[in-house]
Structure 1
Amino acid sequence: MMLLSTALLVPWVTGVLLVALDGRRRVIAWLGVGSLAATLVLLAVLAAQVFTGGARRVRTGDWPEGVGITLRADALAVAFALLSVLVLLAAAVHEASGGARSRTFPGLVVLLAAGLTGLFVTGDVFSFYVFFELAMTASYALSAYGGKRRQLRAALVFAAVNLLGSFIFLLSVAGVYRVTGTLSMDQVAGRMLDVNPNAALLIATGFFIAFCVKLGLFPFHFWLPTVYAGARPAVAAILSGAVANIGAYGLLRFGAGLFPEQLRHAGIALVVLGAASIVYGGVLAVARGDTAEMLAYSAIGQVGYVLVAVGVGGPVALTTAVLYSVVNALNKALLFLASGLRGTLVAGAFAVGALSVAGVPPAMGFVGKLELFRTGVAAGSAALVVLLVVGSALSLVYLFQVYQRRFWRADPASGGVVSPLPQRLVTAALALLVLAAGLWPEPLIALSGHAVDMLLAVGPG
């Protein structure tokens, strides 16, 4: 019980302290790294307990169920929390190695870790919203990191669009309380069965739109290229590899957990939207000449696979959605961090990430695409299999183009100087993790399956 609370308090307390200090000093930046590393260790221990002994719960004070704030760490929650903090740790090490350019950067990243961790482990819909806003507030500030006109414009777009998503989410939270009389996720899941189907569908649609805005899915993608391409590589890695997990987790937790009937009825629509994201993102990425823009449109395409898997539904497809969320987050973090660096080691790391996105073995992306192929076969959908082939082919084309431009040709601006060794080592470590997960995928597949089993076990019925 204490472990769950501690995993949330460590980044919260240290983040508040670090924001008040000058993050441009290396010792402060590395204190932020240390805080994230400690949070990651706590979450890893918590994950081991969850996987061996079941979900862990903590209720604040002596308040009854549905009134007090409930923290619930199940396999899905700790998997996404671990993934997000790992990406934040890699980005923090990347910036600390090169020297943070803002006094608030280390503190904001740690506060973002607190917001994301709380969001994933909460068992209350309103607490989800509170942690959601904490994470997004830190994200808004981070998107302006660098202080140049391009970053400031990206921050303005990001804040405006995501505030709209937050407003829609809050309306949906109010709708849940209006029709169920509770905000406890467990109680909501049971009482939704007795709610008027039209009201339940309207509420579920609100949540869906809010999460799709966070994911940048087509047709809610219009903000994403500007923000990802305008942000610095470390911030783009954070937004695509950690913050975007809110959308994937929300679709799984709220869709399969709270609104399974509405998810089943809307399955075809979700598959169509996911397919549109895959094709649209892939085609636009091929047409882009700028590395950051290519990766931004690639992000639109890759999250489409998650939506397709959620739309298909069922244990096999949902397991694939969890697995591909992990694969996509690590791939995007690796590619964005490597895109701003130079050197042979970085070129190799970028190649690993590119092969993983395209689904080429032995990278972990091959495992994700293979599970998607199994999902298509299990659903009896030849169109889904064809979509998978087309999307992978597009990925291979645009990533080969950017690799050729970025690492095969000399960059006059770099003057032949390679990037700092610690930054190159971070990308190499992520590349090794991607390769290791591809060569030994059983733990990741088992984790994804266990997460879905626990998610469906607490759902209605």
Structure 2
Amino acid sequence: MALLVPWAAGTLLIGLDGRRRSVMWLAVAALTATLAGLLAVAARVLPATAPPGAGHVVTGGWPAGVGIVLRADALGLSFALLAILVLLVVVATEAAAGSTSRTFPGLVLLLAAGLTGLFLTGDVFTFYVFFELSMTASYALTSFGNRPRQLRAALVFAAVNLFGSFVFLIAVAGTYRVTGALAMSQVADRIGEVDQNAALLIAVGFFVAFSVKLGLFPFHYWLPTVYTSASPGVAAILSGAVANIGAYGLLRLGGEVFTAQARFASTALVLLGIASILYGAVLAIARGDAAEMLAYSAIGQVGYVLVALGIGGPLGFTAAVLYSIVNGLNKTLLFLVTGLRGMLVAAAFAVGAFSVAGVPPAAGFIGKLTMFQAGVAAGSPALVVLLVLGSTLSLIYLFQVYQRDFWCENTTAGAAPATPLAGRLVVGALAAVVLAAGIWPEPLLALSQDAATVLVGGRR
């Protein structure tokens, strides 16, 4: 159901006029049904009493090794639930305001199908197929608005992702060449028996492909142009849902398949993550526009995920998963707020800003706290200091934007009328979710720990 609903609904709605409110609300209903389906799967496969293999299925009744392997575990479900929640919030906001694009709801549902399949597949090649579906839908969404600036951004996005897809496909081909398998579990079992230089080269290929998608320094060159040119809703989708393809890919393949190669490169991963944190934060401080600031902030925030991946182990992987989820919620909230006005919107921005900076009681505090714990466990005081510095810089650039856009009396936000109430209520609800996740973090922590257990060889 979680795969069938968005695929069938997207195929239907892509031919309807998305400018009609009824079509937009049909997309909201389809995404709600998809989210409910994923929650039902999670309720069946995540409990400790679930039988082994409860989340594994081969489509079409084909034998293993022939049919497409789908695997629902804590790691994949975490990212799938986040992606569908982000898409649901964005489509609900667009439905409240009124979409100006015929194809927007259909494209979002096709993107939902691609992302859900990508996060739930257990096969490297099928991962690539769903990756391409997601990228195609994302490219079309990037041009949403059809203004020259957005069309240029779509061209940049397409060119960069063609490069990433090319590198990804070469890495997939190399994986099959050296292991004779495409199922992730089989690749993980066989990769230790192949020539380690070849395995390292393949792992580097996957790392480059996912880093381009994630926007890590120094693979970030496309991200500011695309995020600042796209509409707020599309930027929220790209940063809150699509970018997590990179985080998930690095965790799934680096933490579960190419484990020896990840350990070998752990110091380099931490250094690249720190460089991304500081680079993004410094450039964000220098930006005067909210969208530009958020674009460079996105570069810095994903650096925390790479640092946690470099630390590794149960604590490092837990921090990486938790921070990816919280960061996706934060960026979705903040990018949506840039297109809205009103007192409730200003309060929602403040919640998102505190969460990014790691100020309690927002969810970002739990994410940053877990990162600091991982840094302490790594035995590196310098790493902890740099993480604190990154959080401090985050608070500075977000306060600058809040002061300019929501505080000063003569800003555009203060002079412009408030946007439709329904749109403000949607972002207010998302801000409430971010607060609730910080006040009651146990479910999110438990899910992140289960995901880390998957990566370190646990049952789930």
Flag whether TM exceeds 0.5 (same fold).
yes
> What is the CA distance between 1:408 and its match in structure 2?
1.3
Distance 2:154 2:282 in 1: 26
Question: What are the superposed Cα offsets for residues 66-92 of structure 1, whole Å, 9 maximum, x if unpaired?
Answer: 221111101111111000000000000
> What is the CA distance between 1:415 and its match in structure 2?
4.7
Q: Corresponding residue for 2:31?
A: 36
Check 1:418–1:315 CA distance in 2 against 1; reply closer, same or farther (3 A cut). same
Letter in 2 for 1:319: T
In the alignment, which of 11, 14, 18 is matched to residue 6 of structure 2? 11
Distance 1:78 1:396 in 2: 31
Question: What are the superposed Cα offsets for residues 308-344 of structure 1, whole Å, 9 maximum, x if unpaired?
Answer: 0001111110110000000100000000001111100
The answer to whether residue 51 in structure 2 is matched with residue 51 in structure 1 is no
Letter in 2 for 1:235: V
Distance 2:111 2:412 in 1: 36
Provide the TM-score with structure 2 as the length reference. 0.97
Q: Is the 8 A contact 1:257 1:458 kept in 2?
A: no
Q: Which portions of structure 1, spanning 4 or more consecutive aligned residues, are displaced by more than 4 angstroms? A: 412-415
Letter in 2 for 1:26: R
Q: Is the 8 A contact 2:405 2:413 kept in 1?
A: no
Question: What are the superposed Cα offsets for residues 270-317 of structure 1, whole Å, 9 maximum, x if unpaired?
Answer: 101100000000000000001100000000000000000001111110
Distance 2:148 2:416 in 1: 28
> What is the CA distance between 1:348 and its match in structure 2?
0.3
Q: Corresponding residue for 1:453?
A: 453
Distance 1:413 1:322 in 2: 35
Q: Is the 8 A contact 2:38 2:77 kept in 1?
A: yes
Distance 2:444 2:358 in 1: 16
Q: Is the 8 A contact 1:108 1:138 kept in 2?
A: yes
Distance 1:412 1:214 in 2: 33
Question: What are the superposed Cα offsets for residues 371-410 of structure 1, whole Å, 9 maximum, x if unpaired?
Answer: 0110011110111111111101110000000001111134
Letter in 1 for 2:430: L
Distance 2:180 2:416 in 1: 64
Q: Corresponding residue for 1:110?
A: 109
Distance 1:16 1:398 in 2: 42
Distance 1:150 1:61 in 2: 44
> What is the CA distance between 1:240 and its match in structure 2?
0.2
Distance 2:30 2:61 in 1: 30
Letter in 2 for 1:335: L
Distance 2:422 2:150 in 1: 25
Q: Is the 8 A contact 1:334 1:427 kept in 2?
A: yes
> What is the CA distance between 1:414 and its match in structure 2?
7.7
Q: Is the 8 A contact 2:140 2:154 kept in 1?
A: yes
- Match of 1:356, SS? helix
- Match of 1:71, SS? strand
Distance 2:184 2:327 in 1: 27
Q: Corresponding residue for 2:185?
A: 186
Q: Corresponding residue for 1:27?
A: 22
| RMSD over equivalenced CA pairs, Å | 1.2
Letter in 2 for 1:192: I
Query: How many equivalent pairs are there?
Result: 454
Q: Is the 8 A contact 1:256 1:455 kept in 2?
A: yes
Matches within 5 A, 1:87-166: 87-166=86-165
The answer to whether residue 258 in structure 2 is matched with residue 278 in structure 1 is no
Q: Is the 8 A contact 1:74 1:451 kept in 2?
A: yes
> What is the CA distance between 1:456 and its match in structure 2?
2.4
With 198-207 and 377-386 compared, the bigger mean Cα shift is at 377-386
Q: Is the 8 A contact 1:143 1:227 kept in 2?
A: yes
Q: Corresponding residue for 1:85?
A: 84
Q: Corresponding residue for 1:423?
A: 423
Q: Is the 8 A contact 2:281 2:390 kept in 1?
A: yes
> What is the CA distance between 1:416 and its match in structure 2?
3.3
Distance 1:317 1:206 in 2: 23
Structure 1 stretches of 5 or more lacking a match?
1-5
> What is the CA distance between 1:458 and its match in structure 2?
6.3
Distance 2:150 2:256 in 1: 37
Q: Corresponding residue for 1:218?
A: 217
Distance 1:184 1:408 in 2: 53
Question: What are the superposed Cα offsets for residues 212-238 of structure 1, whole Å, 9 maximum, x if unpaired?
Answer: 000000000000000000000000000
Distance 1:416 1:156 in 2: 32
Matches within 5 A, 1:211-360: 211-360=210-359
Q: Corresponding residue for 2:432?
A: 432
- Match of 2:56, SS? strand
> What is the CA distance between 1:43 and its match in structure 2?
0.5
- Match of 1:58, SS? strand
With 408-417 and 231-240 compared, the bigger mean Cα shift is at 408-417
Q: Corresponding residue for 2:400?
A: 401
Q: Is the 8 A contact 1:341 1:419 kept in 2?
A: yes
